[in-house]
Structure 1
Amino acid sequence: MSELRFENVTVRYGTGRRALRAVDGVSLTVPPGQVVGLVGESGSGKSTLARAAVGLAPLASGRVLLGGQDVVHRARGGGHRPLQMVFQDPYASLDPRMRVGDSVAEAIPRTGPSDGAGRRAEVARLFDLVGLDAGHALSRPAELSGGQRQRVALARALAGRPSVVVADEITSALDVSVQGTVLNLVRDLQRRMHLGMLFISHNLAVVRYVSDVVAVMYLGRIVECGPAHDVLADPQHPYTRELLAAAPQRDGSAWADTGQGEGAVTEVDPPDPHHVPAGCRFHPRCPVGPLVRPDRAECLTLDPTPGSAGRVHGAACHFAADRLPPPGTAR
């Protein structure tokens, strides 16, 4: 098993005044055998970070390490491909002219079965692993349903024998009736195969269901990160609280606020990512920020990110709770 680690990763699109930092100085770790759920609204930089992990988005600065080795320079060879990605649209990620069994067989490493019979048997095993009948191997993508195509995409990713899988919004293009089945499959495969996984979604209810760790992304930065239960039970960043308030609970109700909600500033349009606000990036929408509470003027000019390591869940908020010192340490 390998650890996937992002170290101060920045991805920039464009140049000059219209340059956009889609990902801005992100550091994040996906521990071996655990699921890190990355959540945020559209345009927050989640998919760009995923593409950076597999080399599809060039880094402006920083590193992406897998098992301590830079993924850009990691020797591929003919063995297993330790980092695989499953894309949002399974139809776009599969060659429409190829039978899906051939698409999966194409991803089997050269160190795997070399003869036709052996590769067909491996494809059948992978199809069984993701809950597909082996007979579907002769079908083309257009002949399958969306849920079946996403299972094929999962089988193709698993064919590379990865230790870490990046799953980018893999249920958002599916019917609601199919999403739960695919999520159950993903969670089961991850536990049985002890995979590390970066699971990306804009839906906090989905992330809650599959994740061990939750990271919240806003305008290119991680604004809160910690064990899933802790973050969801005691969110420290106002943006996390807003995401939780928008996510329905199992009983159909909304998350119970802690009494900190004071305004409806979050109803305004998100800032232009080409012109990121000074100070705290969330302050133009923050219901407990300076537009509601004038005494919190520091949010207008001071970036809370540099001090986030000293706050609970590493929250990028000036008013998040301080992290407690280790036992026995003088305060």
Structure 2
Amino acid sequence: MLLDGVDVRRLPRRRPLRMVFQDPYSSLDPRMSIGESITEAMPRGAHADKAGRRAEVARLLELVNLDPGRTGTLPGHLSGGQRQRVALARALAGQPDVLIADEITSALDVSVQGAVLNLVRSVQRRLDLSMLFISHNLAVIRYISDVVAVMYLGRIVEAGPAEQVLTDPQHPYTRDLLAAAPSAHTGLSGIAGGIASGIAGDDSGLADIEPPDPHHPPSGCRYRTRCPIGPLANPERTVCATTDPADGAIRRRHRAACHFAGSGSEHLGISALSKGGSPL
């Protein structure tokens, strides 16, 4: 992973990156007030005196829609949504170039998730901030992201502009995720039922196969042991077991790590996704 062309493992300092963690109940020190937690994250020398630091804490709390008068409050007196707002303010206090948000709404009540996501999108736009947003929720990804990278067993299998990837997925795993997303009648992509039942037949059982051990991934394509268009459904496609599809991904649409990228998508009825609106 590169940041301005530099491998993040070789950055001279860690300041350009800050992270908001998944669990707001464990990411804040319970013995420190929220003002102290935010102040601790400020770069050394950024604010010369206590008055400047207090003013910056107040500004950051206002930015995340919290009362600046609560700087002395301990995290135990806050709700999960309020704690996650504090965690966001704490990350922003480090003046990052890139903010990493790891499943930041998954531990929150559904009634709070939408408000936090709206806040994140507002802050992102107001500060012109780059963000790496990690989530299993495709509705959230659609709402937040400009570019999407889909991962399977620790490897990116498809990447591209969010609207293109979500409306015209090339990798079977991406289509599987879209088909599995819950809605009133169909998946997020407009497909009724899972992708495996749509291609390999309702009795194929591919959708129920456990994923392989990530420490010992399959040879060739890592998704081939569950893929509805791979050798389990099409025995003649032996290339999936012998050749890593990532080697030629750059030549395929969305850099899909699949020898048969796009194959079968014309039969799936992929429907366009509307942009904007509430993710919940």
Fold conserved between structures, TM > 0.5: yes
Residue matched to 1:67: 4
The question of whether the paired residues in 2 share the 8 Å contact of 1:88 and 1:169 is answered with yes
What is the identity, as a one-letter code, of the residue corresponding to 1:266?
A: A
- SS of 2:237's equivalent? helix
Q: Give unmatched runs, 5+ long, in structure 2.
A: 264-280
The question of whether the paired residues in 1 share the 8 Å contact of 2:221 and 2:243 is answered with yes
- SS of 1:90's equivalent? coil
Residue matched to 2:71: 137
Matched, 1:307 2:248: yes
Match of 1:166 among 100, 118, 137: 100
How far off its partner does 1:114 sit? 2.2
The question of whether the paired residues in 1 share the 8 Å contact of 2:169 and 2:262 is answered with no
What is the identity, as a one-letter code, of the residue corresponding to 1:180?
A: G
Residue matched to 1:285: 226
Q: Quick one: structure 1 residues 252 and 278, their matched pair in 2 at CA, closer, same or farther if it must change by over 3 Å?
A: same
Q: Using the alignment, how far apart are the partners of 2:35 and 2:185 within structure 1?
A: 41
Q: Quick one: structure 1 residues 72 and 282, their matched pair in 2 at CA, closer, same or farther if it must change by over 3 Å?
A: closer
Q: Using the alignment, how far apart are the partners of 2:13 and 2:224 within structure 1?
A: 44
The C-alpha deviation readout for 1:150-176, integer Å capped at 9, x for no partner, is 000000011111121011111111111
- SS of 2:25's equivalent? helix
Q: Using the alignment, how far apart are the partners of 2:37 and 2:179 within structure 1?
A: 41
Q: Give unmatched runs, 5+ long, in structure 1.
A: 1-5, 7-64, 323-331
The C-alpha deviation readout for 1:70-120, integer Å capped at 9, x for no partner, is 44443449xxx3211111112222111100111001112233222222211
- SS of 1:224's equivalent? strand
The question of whether the paired residues in 2 share the 8 Å contact of 1:237 and 1:315 is answered with yes
Residue matched to 1:269: 210
How far off its partner does 1:270 sit? 0.8
The question of whether the paired residues in 1 share the 8 Å contact of 2:171 and 2:262 is answered with no
Residue matched to 2:89: 155
Q: Using the alignment, how far apart are the partners of 2:72 and 2:225 within structure 1?
A: 53
Q: Using the alignment, how far apart are the partners of 1:247 and 1:124 within structure 2?
A: 39
Q: Which fold has the larger relative contact order, with Cα–Cα distance below 8 Å and residues 6 or more apart in sequence? A: 1
How far off its partner does 1:235 sit? 0.4
Matched, 1:296 2:229: no
The percent identity for this pair of structures is: 65
Q: Quick one: structure 1 residues 220 and 102, their matched pair in 2 at CA, closer, same or farther if it must change by over 3 Å?
A: same
Match of 2:80 among 146, 159, 164: 146
Q: Quick one: structure 1 residues 71 and 293, their matched pair in 2 at CA, closer, same or farther if it must change by over 3 Å?
A: closer
Q: Using the alignment, how far apart are the partners of 1:72 and 1:115 within structure 2?
A: 33
User: Cα RMSD over matched residues?
Assistant: 2.0
Match of 2:186 among 246, 253, 256: 253
How far off its partner does 1:257 sit? 4.0
TM-score by length of 2: 0.85
Q: Using the alignment, how far apart are the partners of 1:268 and 1:321 within structure 2?
A: 22
- SS of 2:60's equivalent? helix
- SS of 1:295's equivalent? coil
Q: Using the alignment, how far apart are the partners of 2:5 and 2:224 within structure 1?
A: 36
- SS of 1:292's equivalent? coil
The question of whether the paired residues in 1 share the 8 Å contact of 2:41 and 2:90 is answered with yes
TM-score by length of 1: 0.73
